[in-house]
């Protein structure tokens, strides 16, 4: 991949540079609750603007149904980008229509515009190559050069990610270059012991990466809702906890393979339970109790790993030279069920190894729980993209940037 440094060396003064960013930030009543993804693209946008480019920033947000929807407008993200740049940012209320062309045509060298949510156009996510290509053609008319910097979307074969780079000179932005460098450290140049902590709700979301890591990691720690499918596979009662019964056979096979290959598969030894899922809006007390992992009452729901598990996981991470963490250990958004996630995050902070927080809810948890982001080796902006890279898949958005 050619990098943005090569583009800057050639000169961008007065050129229209299309930056495919990932501004897919969480919103609550129109207010951004975590601006991490906007801050992640700042170095690329600022470097281009400082070099005199006319910067056109584009992104998706949420999952609108291929038509404009005010609930998914990028306007709040555009306004926040302007605040962080300390400079005006123009906003176009469409993607490839008159407003987008007017915004881009109105740019002076060094100025920035954001066009509306790419997914307001059905061509962005279409599975039909021709429909995607037609939208990519219209996007290409807005720019002279393409810079890919939306790492959180590179695993999607979407028009702005996959088709557009083929239509313009293309380069990788600073964020993508950093993310790929980190992932190579997790796959090609691994310092051992290599420990992986996996959480989140569904084991089905992690099966492929577990399959791949069983041949590469030294230890795999399992938490979150997915842990209860593992515990059920061991014959334990899991009450009303999240359970994917259709994955029990696969999980049983992974447990057996880990034993045969010498990979240490670590499961919770205790769990925090409650009668029902907590209210995340009011944060009303969740009535938690802690029980042994093999003694869960039938009427209770597992919502976090317990304190003994938290201490065990921290110990298993303590001497690791490489740590990858993807997925919270419990319902971290509620204070009664956040301690397991906090314990894993703290273990990464105290680690002397290379630590990677694999995007998504893990990255959100780090910020919500008040950790210093600089205390981690790297916080990824793309959970799904990171996992698919570790699974060994070809990511369309990265392939499109290669020459």
Whether residue 46 contacts residue 111, with contact meaning beta carbons closer than 8 Å, is answered with: no
384 included as an active-site residue: yes
Closest Cα to residue 244, out of 265, 266, 226, 257? Answer: 226
Estimate the share of the chain in helix, then strand, then coil, as percent rounded to the nearest 5. 40, 15, 40
Token code pair at residue 199: 């959480």
202 tagged catalytic: yes
| Residue 86 tokens, joined | 């300390």
Question: Residue 129 CB: number of other CB atoms within 10 A?
Answer: 12
User: What is the distance between the terminal CA atoms of the chain, rounded to a whole angstrom?
Assistant: 6
User: Phi/psi class of residue 245: alpha, beta or left (left: φ > 0; alpha: ψ in -120 to 50)?
Assistant: alpha
Whole-number CA gyration radius for the chain:
22
Query: What is the C-alpha separation between 22 and 154, in angstroms, rounded?
Result: 10
Residues 332/338, Cβ–Cβ less than 8 Å:
yes
Pairing of strands 54-58, 112-115: parallel
**How crowded is residue 130: how many other Cβ atoms within 10 Å of its Cβ?**
9
Which two structure tokens, joined as six digits, stand for 401?
Answer: 């940037």
Angle at 257 between CA 385 and CA 271, to 5 degrees: 70
**Dihedrals φ, ψ of 304, to 5°?**
-170, 155
The single residue of 202, 216, 367, 393 carrying the catalytic annotation is 202
- Interatomic CA distance for residues 218 and 248, integer angstroms: 23
Q: Rounded to whole angstroms, how far apart are CA atoms 25 and 93? A: 18
- C-alpha 120/C-alpha 324 separation (Å) is 34
**CA quadruple 367, 373, 375, 380: dihedral positive or negative?**
positive
In the set 37, 54, 80, 342, the catalytic residue is: 37
Cα(340)–Cα(304) distance, integer angstroms: 6
Catalytic residue of the set 173, 200, 384, 397: 384
Q: Which of 123, 360, 383, 397 is catalytic?
A: 360
- Reading phi first (left if > 0) and then psi (alpha if -120 to 50, else beta), residue 130 is in alpha
Q: Which residues are catalytic?
A: 37, 202, 360, 384
């Amino acid at each position: 991949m050619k990098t943005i440094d090569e583009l800057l060396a050639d000169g961008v003064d007065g050129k229209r540079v299309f930056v495919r960013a990932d501004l897919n930030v969480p919103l609550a009543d129109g207010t951004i609750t975590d601006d991490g993804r906007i801050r992640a693209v700042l170095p690329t946008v600022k470097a281009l603007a400082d070099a005199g480019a006319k910067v056109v920033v584009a992104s998706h947000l949420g999952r609108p149904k291929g038509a404009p929807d005010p609930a998914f407008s990028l306007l709040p993200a555009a306004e926040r980008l302007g605040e962080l740049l300390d400079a005006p940012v123009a906003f176009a209320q469409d993607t490839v229509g008159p407003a987008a062309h007017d915004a881009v045509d109105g740019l002076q060298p060094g100025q920035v515009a954001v066009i509306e949510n790419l997914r307001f156009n059905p061509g962005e996510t279409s599975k039909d190559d021709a429909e995607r290509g037609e939208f990519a053609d219209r996007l290409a008319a807005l720019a002279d050069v393409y810079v890919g910097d939306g790492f959180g979307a590179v695993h999607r074969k979407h028009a702005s990610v996959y088709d557009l780079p083929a239509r313009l000179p293309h380069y990788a932005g600073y964020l993508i270059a950093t993310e790929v460098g980190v992932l190579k450290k997790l796959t090609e140049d691994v310092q051992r012991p290599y420990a992986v902590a996996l959480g989140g709700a569904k084991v089905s979301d992690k099966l492929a990466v577990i399959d791949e890591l069983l041949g590469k990691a030294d230890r795999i720690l399992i938490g979150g809702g997915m842990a209860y499918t593992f515990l059920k596979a061991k014959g334990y009662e899991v009450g009303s906890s999240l359970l994917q019964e259709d994955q029990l056979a696969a999980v049983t096979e992974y447990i057996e393979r880990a034993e045969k290959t010498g990979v240490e598969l670590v499961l919770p030894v205790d769990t925090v339970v409650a009668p029902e899922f907590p209210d995340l809006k009011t944060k009303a007390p969740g009535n938690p109790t802690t029980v042994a992992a093999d003694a869960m009452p039938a009427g209770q729901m597992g919502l976090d790993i317990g304190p003994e598990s938290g201490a065990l996981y921290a110990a298993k991470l303590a001497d690791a030279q490489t740590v990858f963490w993807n997925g919270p250990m419990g319902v971290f958004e509620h204070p009664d069920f956040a301690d397991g996630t906090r314990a894993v995050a703290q273990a990464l902070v105290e680690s002397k190894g290379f630590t990677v927080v694999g995007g998504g809810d893990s990255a959100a948890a780090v910020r919500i729980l008040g950790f210093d982001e600089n205390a981690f080796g790297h916080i990824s902006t793309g959970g799904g993209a990171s996992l698919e890279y570790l699974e060994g898949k070809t990511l369309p958005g990265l392939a499109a940037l290669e020459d």
